[in-house]
Amino acid sequence: MWDWRFLGLLLASSLIDYAAGQLLLRSTNTNRRKLYLFASLFWNLSVLIAFKYFDFFVSGFHDLFSSEISTQYSIWSVIVPIGLSFYTFQTMSYTIDVYQRKVEPTKNLLDFLCFVSFFPQLVAGPIERAKFLLPQFQKNRKFNLQQSKEGLRQILWGLFKKVLVADKLGIAVTMAFENPDQYGSFTLAFAAALFSFQVYCDFSGYTDMAVGTAKLFGFKLHNNFNIPYLAKSITEFWQRWHITLTKWFTDYVYIPFLKQFNRITVRVRVLGLLLTMLLVGLWHGANWTFIVFGLFNGLLLAVERVPIFGRRKTLAKWLSKRPRMFSLIYFFTLTSISSVFFRAEDISQAWDILLRIFTFQDIGHISSLIGFQLLYLVFLILAEILTRTKAYPLETFENTWPRAARWIFYYVLIILIVRYAEPKEAFIYFQF
């Protein structure tokens, strides 16, 4: 509905990687197999570079080497197709796994097309592997009433997180980030913390809806989040946040990088972490803010995972044994700084906001823009903490609440969602 022409990219990526899988299956020649893998990776990475990074790098090159006198030039600039980063990574992982003989390539083209274009998780993940999702298209499925009810409850919870928490927090966050000169230290720090919750509720809310929708059709998807803001360190955070993306970069970038060295030293691990997180930042978009975001997190991971307290003990292990309040202060301070780069339009805006935060002078307040709606966030936090062993808070709702109370709760949530929905608020991760 947005622009049907971009479906050509989706179809081309699907056909090329399907063909690569078939060729890899039939070939036993090592050089030919490498050629087929290279062709697949070349296509997928070329599409990503052309649509996401070409304008960024050429503009940067021009700004760096052009004379002071402005020259007229034009660069091919297009809108990034929705879901591009997600489905290209999904098809690339298929070809790599087939090449490494970790998965058997499918001969059924329809099954493969469905695997790539499965609509619940197509535009914003989770990024599924062929070994997990593809077999689900290859077996018969029957309607399961209980699974469908669980799916509907998870969709409802995801809508609550997106509409009543993320979008309402977004109003205040936007006011602060677009007019930082009107606010002081505490207010901007508060806005940065609110954005951390906004992006979590926005993205994990989408994931809940994707997983819930898949359940309606008899499919299972991975949970992409595990209460990340209860992490005691940045290392633990990245094990709980956008889990499928972190696993993708670990398996296809970080580990292969380490394998290139005969001896894995501390320096090699640090370089691997910095490279991996740089690419994670770039994955989010062609902007210096995302590059700094990635390198900042890579540096934090390196500091936490380098042995400092004795021969084997690391800062991450030390933090895991500290009191929860101490670790949360440490973690939230760093993740709020990180979120400033993630949210800012450019480096100068991010730097301006951070400078104003550390002046420790406060003017203006944004709490009045949120008001009672902060109660939604408080309710969300309490619900997820109390049910942290569950996939989502409403998972065991049917077994713990009477039917009348359940349906009253459902309809109250539905009415609030319909009443307070912001029609122009898209999902943050749709841009990636």
Instruction: Write the DSSP string, 157-203.
Output: HHHIIIIIIIHHHHHHHHHHHH-GGGS-HHHHHHHHHHHHHHHHHHH
Q: What is the rounded distance in angstroms from the CA atom of residue 329 to the CA atom of residue 334?
A: 9
Contacts of residues 74-79 at CB distance under 8 Å and 24 or more positions apart, as own/partner, are 78/51, 79/3
CA separation for the pair 28, 19 (Å, rounded): 16
**Residue ranges in 306-432 assigned as alpha helix (H):** 315-320, 324-343, 347-357, 367-370, 374-386, 397-400, 403-420
Q: How many CB atoms lie within 10 A of CB 73?
A: 9
For residue 229, what are the contacts with CB-CB under 8 A and spacing of at least 6?
196, 197, 200, 237, 331, 332, 335
Q: Rounded distance, CA 201 to CA 162, Å?
A: 6
Residues in Cβ contact with 42 at an 8 Å cutoff, skipping those fewer than 6 apart: none
Phi, psi of 91 (to 5 degrees): -75, -35
Bridge-based pairing state of the strands 307-309 and 313-314: antiparallel
Triad 277, 318, 262: Cα angle to 5°: 50
Angle made by CA atoms 425, 220, 398, in degrees to the nearest 5: 80
**Token code pair at residue 72:** 């007229």
144/152 Cα distance (integer angstroms): 12
Q: Which amino acids are annotated catalytic?
A: 284
Q: Is 425 exposed, middle or buried (0-12, 13-18, 19+ CB in 10 A)?
A: middle
